[in-house]
A and B are shown apart, each in its own frame.
Chain A
């Protein structure tokens, strides 16, 4: 049984997801921290994920790549997508935090792709409730801007503008 709840945080590009899985915490934790299991679900459907480095401890690194199962067009170039995450917090069967980003094959990050992911594991009578919070690099930029006393209500402004512009487009 699953329940998903997606809560958008007020005014910032961050997303909270709550979902309950019909499995004990120990198994859910293993699914996140055993690379053999993780690679079965992390990447998109019809892509194969390879995990090249996986060090689930604070400061540890997780390097991975993903390839589409379908053969690419002859002139399309290498479709492999690379990613690298840095573990910030690893508390067994309780909490994971890492920064994930897309990189090139040499490990150089693609600007704007970084996300901070925090995962909380909570036992719910033999089932497991996951709390996942994702925030984009843009929020870090935003926080930096706010710390400098720059802008208040910045993202709300953007949201409002986006809505207006969309409304304008569909009209």
Chain B
């Protein structure tokens, strides 16, 4: 079957400053001010990137005593991280089935001969 990779997540992350924000947030939650200072950006720029990340479901904001504190949502990263696991399981099962089909085809070839022999044998026995 298919393993879907969330294109929204990838597109949101395919921008260097947004990726830097995500890296910074992996250390823990921050508000816009601390992120702006830490990453040496301008606050409107930080806010704009945080909005994109929030719309893509990558970060979530919580209001804590007047401050908006941003943190990462684990789900999009788990999805990306599990792609390889999913795809290797998919191929493992698919190739097991191919293996069985190949064995069947090869045994099938000799089964045909065997059943011919059986039938001949029965015919000999029948009156």
- The interface of chain A, by Cβ under 8 A from chain B, is 2, 4, 6, 8, 13, 15, 17, 19, 21-23, 27-28, 31, 37, 40-45, 66, 81, 83, 100-102, 110-113, 115, 130, 132, 134, 136-138, 141-142, 145, 150-151, 154, 157-166, 168-169
Bound Cα distance A17, B84 (Å): 12
Are B1 and A81 in touch, CB under 8 angstroms?
Answer: yes
User: Looking at chain B, what size class is its interface with the partner chain?
Assistant: 35 or more
Are A162 and B77 in touch, CB under 8 angstroms?
Answer: yes
Q: Which residues of A contact B16 (CB under 8 A)?
A: 150-151
Bound Cα distance A96, B53 (Å): 39
Are B2 and A165 in touch, CB under 8 angstroms?
Answer: no
Interface residues of B in 69-115 (CB under 8 A from A): 72, 74, 77-78, 80-81, 83-84, 87-88, 91-95, 97-103, 105-106
Are B6 and A13 in touch, CB under 8 angstroms?
Answer: no
Q: Out of A13, A100, A158, A165, name the residue touching B13 (CB < 8 Å).
A: A158
- The interface of chain B, by Cβ under 8 A from chain A, is 1-7, 10-11, 13-16, 19, 22-23, 26, 72, 74, 77-78, 80-81, 83-84, 87-88, 91-95, 97-103, 105-106
Dominant secondary structure at the B interface: helix
Q: Which residues of A contact B93 (CB under 8 A)?
A: 44-45
Dominant secondary structure at the A interface: mixed
Are A154 and B77 in touch, CB under 8 angstroms?
Answer: no
Bound Cα distance A20, B122 (Å): 40
Q: Which residues of B contact A154 (CB under 8 A)?
A: 13-14, 19
